[in-house]
Amino acid sequence: MQQLKCAACGVINTPGQTVCEGCGIALVATPYVVPDRVSPSTVFVEDRGMSDAAKILTGLFVVVALIVVGVLFFQWGRASQSETELERARLEQSREGGAARSPTTPTTSPAPVIVTTPAPPPTVITPAPAGSASPSDEAIGLYKSAMDPVLRRWHDALLAAEAASGANLESAIAAMREVERSTSMVTPPASGQRVHARLLGAMQALISEFTEAARKQTAVTNSTTYVESRKQFDAVVAEIEALSRR
């Protein structure tokens, strides 16, 4: 007998059943046919190979992978070399530290040599003989020797300026300026610095009087200011002569 399949619920009932064992509905005499096994269809796969674009991408990937691997190996090599150098430096430092900590044999310095220097002989101060010149007197004498020819030149230029006029007066004033410049180049001693400064001032005052007279074309000897400046100059020269006789 054949098995019957329920049309309502699909339960396969045993042969001889008139009512479905699953849902209780009357079974229709429809035999259940076991389906045949379906054989799998044949699938054909076509091997078309790789396209050109895929080949290019694959090649680029390989190149990039090689570059990355090379960079990684290079960095690893540098790191290894640095570690090796650092370890070597540590070893050398430890060796130097051990050598520094090793006991050294003390050296015995030679005994100092004491050299006895004889005491210098006592300084004997010999009093200067009566009438000998002191350093200040010598400085004043040198100053006087330097000023004598300068004052003679000034006297000659002054007399020439008093008697001159016009172009001759201009030449005389130039000669007086040259003498005043020579006087400023003489270095006086300490005791004669003030009088030397007054001498230069008197010379400049007389030169100014002659210059004003040349501008106005007047006789300088008629000027009261000139006469007073001439008296001051003669007084300063007298002080220089007195200074040299001290």
In a domain, 54, yes or no: no
Judge whether 25 lies within some domain: yes
Helical pair 135-163 and 167-184, crossing angle rounded to 10 deg: 170
pLDDT string in tens for the chain (246-residue length) = 667 788 888 888 888 778 888 888 887 665 555 556 655 555 444 555 667 888 898 888 899 999 988 888 888 877 777 777 878 878 887 777 655 554 444 455 555 555 555 555 554 444 445 455 567 788 888 888 888 999 999 999 989 888 888 888 889 899 999 999 999 999 988 888 898 999 999 999 999 988 988 888 888 777 888 888 888 899 988 988 887 554
Please tell me the predicted confidence (pLDDT) of residue 209.
87
Looking at the structure, tell me whether residues 199 and 161 fall in a common domain. Answer: yes
Cβ proximity of 179 and 148 under 8 Å: no
Q: Check the CA dihedral 64-65-70-75 and report its sign.
A: positive
Number of domain units in the chain: 3
d(CA 218, CA 41): 151
- In 3D space, the residue among 164, 156, 154, 149 whose CA is nearest the CA of residue 211 turns out to be 164
pLDDT, residue 116, reads: 53
CA distances from 109 to 80, 91, 156 (A): 50, 35, 82
Residues 20 and 87 in one domain: no
What is the spatial distance between Cα 131 and Cα 230, in angstroms, rounded to a whole number?
37
Structural tokens at position 82: 């640095």
Where in the sequence is the domain holding 66, given as residue range(s)? 59-91
Q: Are residues 142 and 234 in the same domain?
A: yes
Q: Does residue 74 lie within any of the structural domains?
A: yes
pLDDT (0 to 100) of residue 88: 82
Question: H/E/C letters for each residue in 109-133?
Answer: CCCCCCCCCCCCCCCCCCCCCCCCC
Q: Mark whether 26 and 65 lie in a shared domain.
A: no
Pull the structure tokens for residue 201: 């001032």
128 falls within a domain: no
Q: Which residues contact 160 (CB under 8 A, 6 or more apart)?
A: 168, 172, 175
Distance set, CA 242 to CA 136, 153, 169, 203, 235 (Å): 14, 20, 32, 19, 11
Same domain, 146 and 230: yes
98 located within any domain: no
In a domain, 100, yes or no: no
Please indicate, yes or no, if residue 108 is contained in any of the structural domains: no
Question: 172 and 77, same structural domain?
Answer: no
29 and 64 in a common domain: no
Other beta carbons less than 10 A from residue 166's beta carbon? 9
What pTM value is reported for the model?
0.45
Does residue 235 sit in the same domain as residue 144?
A: yes
155 shares a domain with 79: no
21, 13 Cβ separation under 8 angstroms: yes
Q: Do residue 14 and residue 78 come from a single domain?
A: no
One domain for residues 144 and 212: yes
Q: For residues 20 and 27, is the Cβ–Cβ distance under 8 A?
A: yes
221 domain-assigned: yes
Together in a domain, 27 and 65:
no
pLDDT at 201: 93
pLDDT at position 230 is: 87
